[in-house]
Amino acid sequence: MTAVSVYANGNADTTRIKQHLTVLTKTDGYRNADNVMLLNKTADYIYNHFAQFADTVYYQEYAVGRETYKNVVCILGADHPKTIVVGAHYDVCGNQQGADDNASGVAGLLKLSQLLKEQKLNHRVELVAYTLEEPPYFRTEHMGSYIHAASLANSKTEVYGMLSLEMIGYFKDQKHSQSYPIGALALVYGKRGDYITLVNKVGAGKFAKRFSREFKETKAIKTKKFVGPKALPGIDFSDHLNYWKFGFSALMLTDTAFYRNKNYHQPIDTIETLDIKRMAKVIDGVVGALTGIK
């Protein structure tokens, strides 16, 4: 099946995506580092969904002080030698629901497990739901993505590349709804937040370039590719930064977070603010790209 035909089937239905978002966000408490009980409950929900489709699913547990935190790992296409990692963090910053940041990415992972099970895969795909991406652990070795990336490096796993799903549900068609770290970028990328962005660093590597090309070729959704230096604010603001640390080719798929979504890290980041139809198209594009890469 080609990348384009995957999208044509319209596989990523909005009803199931909304159900995932509801379970993740409409909770008694918040999915932050201080609420280990709720993080564990969220991890169990992710695990139980993955288990329906995975060749293998497991918790990757690690200690931070006296607490134990866990990533949830789903493996598909286990017989292939090269691994592609697709990850999204399930924790939130502080006391907020975190619908876009980053229940949207996790809902994408959950839907991907179902859709990819139905496809012929050319690579081993490792879907990973990370814990502890948000402050106070961001940029530390306690990030779930650091733990996972380090485990791949230590085991000498043949990693083709990594994709981070970081806020994929917020879109705006109004003029001036999109901003940038450098104002002049508006002349190139436009002033409307009506697209999804493939964020690559300069020298991102073979996988990042190939995935970006395949994703755009699906024509699932209006897409723009951004390539910039690692030092540019925002370009490494997610879990892909830890795969860069270990020399893996990695990129971020995002609605650009706070450059568009002013609900970022606020209590008003709720399901009601998301465009689930366009979010579904993003997921279809990911399926098309992953199955299109040879």
What's the pLDDT tens digit per position in 207-219? 999 999 999 999 9
What's the pLDDT tens digit per position in 146-196? 999 999 999 999 999 999 999 999 999 999 999 999 999 999 999 999 999
Q: Is residue 95 a contact partner of residue 30, using CB atoms and an 8 Å limit? A: yes
Question: What pLDDT is stored for residue 218 in this prediction?
Answer: 97
Average pLDDT score, the chain: 95
Global pTM value: 0.95
pLDDT tier, 238 (very low <50, low <70, confident <90, very high otherwise): very high
Q: Which amino acid is at 91?
A: D
Tokens representing residue 287 in the block:
């399926």
Mean pLDDT along residues 135-144: 98
Question: What pLDDT is stored for residue 149 in this prediction?
Answer: 98
Task: Report d(CA 51, CA 47) in Å as an integer.
Answer: 6
Place of tokens 């384009």: 4
Domain limits of the chain?
3-292
Runs of H (alpha helix) within 74-173: 104-117, 144-154
Task: Report d(CA 114, CA 127) in Å as an integer.
Answer: 11
Q: 146: Cβ–Cβ under 8 A, 6 or more apart, which residues? A: 140, 242, 245
Question: What pLDDT is stored for residue 11 in this prediction?
Answer: 62
Kind and range of the H or E run holding 189 = helix 186-189
Mean pLDDT along residues 251-260: 98
Neighbouring C-beta atoms of residue 203, cutoff 10 Å = 11
pLDDT tier, 5 (very low <50, low <70, confident <90, very high otherwise): very low
Whether residue 3 has pLDDT greater than 80: no
Partnered with residue 60 across adjacent β-strands are: 71
Domain 3-292 has CATH 3.40.630.10: yes
Closest CA to 169 of 256, 235, 70, 294: 256
Whether residue 229 has pLDDT greater than 60: yes
Vertex 53: Cα angle to 142 and 41 (nearest 5): 45
